[in-house]
Amino acid sequence: MMIGMSSIPADRLLITVAPTGAESTKAAVPQLPTTLAELVETAVACEAAGAAMIHVHIRDDDHLPTLELSRLVDTVAALKESTSLVVQLSTGGSVHDPLPDRLRVLDAAPDSCSLTMGTTNFGDDVFLNPWPFVCELYQLSQEREVVPEFELFDLGQVHALTRLLDAYGPPYGGKVHCDLVMGVPGGMNGTTDALVAAVAALPPSVTSWSATGIGRSTLAVMFAALSKGGHLRVGMEDVLTLARGVPVENNAQLVERAVAAGRVAQRTPMSPAQARELLGVKAR
Ligand code: KMH
Ligand code: ZN
C-alpha cells in the first residue's frame, strides 16, 4: 500500500533528529554537538543510522545559542554538502531570542523551518509566539517557499493550526506536517492519552505528523506515536539519558533506538528523498 497518490510505501517511518537544541550547555553536556564540525559529524552518523531530517539549532564560538545569519547560511551549506538530510532550521531559537531574529532565519533558505503555533510556558521561562508573529512567519515561509513544520506544544495550538490554515491557506509544497512536542513543563503531558487527544484534534488537512517526548516521556510518546501510525523526532535537544542514570553518548544512539522501535512496529526508516516527497520540500 502507498500513502495517498505518492510513491512512499505506507510502512515508511520519518525519523527526524534534533541533535542540539538551545537549552543544554556544553559544560553540562560535553557530548552535545555545538560546533559546525560536530554538527556535521552527528548529521552524517544520524543519516547512516536512519534519520531523514535534521532539526537544527546552532551555537556560537562560546557554545551559546545564536541565530547569526552567516552561521546559519554556512550550516545549511555544510549539512547539504555532507548529507542528503532535509535541513530544518529552528525559528524557535532560544527563549531569549528576539522575534525579528527568528524571522530572519528564513534568509538562510533552509528546506524546512519549525513554526510553533502559540506561546508556551517553558519551564521557568516563556517561549513567546504571539499570534501576529505566527501569522507573519507563516506568510514568510510561503513567500520564501520553505516548508514549515508546525510545532504543537499543547491542545490549544492544535486548534490554532486550523485557524492559521483557514486564514492563510496551505503551506508551500501543499503538505501539512506537524510535530507534537510533548512533556515540556508548561505544555501538554507526554502521555499516550494526551497524544491520542492531540492526534484526534488535528485538522483533516494534516498530511503527516511526528511526535517527540521531552525527558522521561520520550519512550511513552515514541510508542504511542508508533501505535497511532505517526512519525518520530528524537535527539539530544529532547532527551539526554537512555535510561535512568545512563547518559546519551551521541545522537545516533537515539536514532538507532527509534529505528529499532519502528522495526518492532513493522515500520521502515524513510529515506531523505522520500521525506522530501512527504513534506513537499522544494528542490534547491
Ligand atoms: N528552544 C525552544 C525555546 C523550535 O525549535 O522551533 C524552542 C524550540 C522550538 O526548540
Ligand atoms: Zn528546537
CA gap 146, 60 in Å, rounded: 24
115 in a structural domain: yes
28 in a structural domain: yes
The tally of domains found in the chain comes to 1
Ligand 1 probe mutation, 116, 129, 150, most atoms within 8 A of CB: 116
The residue nearest atom 1 of ligand 1, judged by CA position, is: 94
The residue nearest atom 8 of ligand 1, judged by CA position, is: 92
* CA 226 to each of CA 69, 112, 265: distance values in angstroms, whole numbers, following the listed order: 36, 23, 7
CATH code, domain with 270 = 3.20.20.70
The residue nearest atom 9 of ligand 1, judged by CA position, is: 92
Ion ligand 2 residue ranges (Cβ < 5 Å): 90
Q: pLDDT tens-digit profile of 197-216?
A: 999 999 999 999 999 999 99
Buried b (16+ CB within 10 A) or exposed e, 251-261: bbbbbbbbbeb
CA gap 267, 37 in Å, rounded: 31
284 in a structural domain: no
CA gap 166, 163 in Å, rounded: 5
The predicted pLDDT at position 284 comes to 83
What is the extent of the structural domain holding 189? Answer: 12-279
Of 81, 76, 56, the C-alpha closest to 66 is 56
**Number of C-beta neighbours around residue 38 at 10 A:** 18
* CA 6 to each of CA 10, 84, 85, 150, 250: distance values in angstroms, whole numbers, following the listed order: 10, 20, 19, 21, 34
The predicted pLDDT at position 143 comes to 98
7 in a structural domain: no
Question: pTM (2 decimals)?
Answer: 0.98
- Ligand 1 pocket, 151 CB below 6 A? yes
252 in a structural domain: yes
Going from the Cα of 99 to the center of ligand 1, the distance in angstroms, rounded, reads 13
In terms of C-beta density within 10 A (0-12 exposed, 13-18 middle, 19 or more buried), how is residue 63 classed?
middle
- Ligand 1 pocket, 95 CB below 6 A? yes
- Ligand 1 pocket, 20 CB below 6 A? no
With beta carbons less than 8 A apart as the criterion, state whether 84 and 47 touch: yes
Going from the Cα of 127 to the center of ligand 1, the distance in angstroms, rounded, reads 8
Q: pLDDT tens-digit profile of 212-233?
A: 999 999 999 999 999 999 999 9
Of 123, 87, 120, 118, the C-alpha closest to 105 is 87
Q: pLDDT tens-digit profile of 90-113?
A: 999 999 999 999 999 999 999 999
What SS3 string covers the chain? CECCCCCCECCEECEEECCCCCCCCCCCCCCCCCCHHHHHHHHHHHHHHCCCEEEECEECCCCCEECCHHHHHHHHHHHHHHCCCEEEECCCCCCCCCHHHHHHHHHHCCCEEEEECCCEEECCEEECCCHHHHHHHHHHHHHHCCEEEEEECCHHHHHHHHHHHHHHCCCCCCCCEEEEEECCECECCCCHHHHHHHHHHCCCCCCEEEEEECHHHHHHHHHHHHHCCCEEEECCCCCCEEECCEECCCHHHHHHHHHHHHHHCCCEECCHHHHHHHHCCCCC
196 in a structural domain: yes
The predicted pLDDT at position 211 comes to 99
Ranges of the chain with pLDDT below 50: 1
- Ligand 1 pocket, 34 CB below 6 A? no
154 in a structural domain: yes
125 in a structural domain: yes
With beta carbons less than 8 A apart as the criterion, state whether 191 and 217 touch: yes
